[in-house]
Amino acid sequence: MSTNKLAESGWIVEVVLTGGDRNPDPRFFAVGVEQATEAENATLRFPGLVPEDKRIARRRLSESELSDLRLGVQAVRPYRLNK
C-alpha cells in the first residue's frame, strides 16, 4: 500500500534533547499529522529521540509551508527555522 499522500495539516514541534549526559539542545521538526499531541508523540519515530526529550508542538504549519515542504501524511522531518 502506497502512503505518498501529502499531509493536509501539520505542526512544527520543538524537541529539546535532554536524555543522558547531553546538554539541552533544541531541534525542530515538521510533522504531518492533525493533532498537536499526536505530532509531539510522532517525533519519537525519528532516530535518536527518546521519551525523556521534551516535546512541544509550537504552531500549525500553513498551507503554503505544507506545499513547499511536500510533507507526507505521518511524516516527521527536521525543520530549519529561518531567523
Question: Can you give the pTM of this predicted structure?
Answer: 0.87
Number of folded domains that form the chain: 1
What mean pLDDT is predicted for residues 37-47? 97
Which residue did the predictor score with more confidence, 82 or 75? 75
* pLDDT at residue 73 in the model: 95
Domain boundaries, position 57 = 11-78
Report yes or no on 83 lying in a domain: no
Report yes or no on 53 lying in a domain: yes
DSSP states of 3-33 as a string?
--PBPSS-EEEEEEE-STTPPPEEEEEEE--
Q: Is the pLDDT confidence value at 83 over 80?
A: no
Report yes or no on 65 lying in a domain: yes
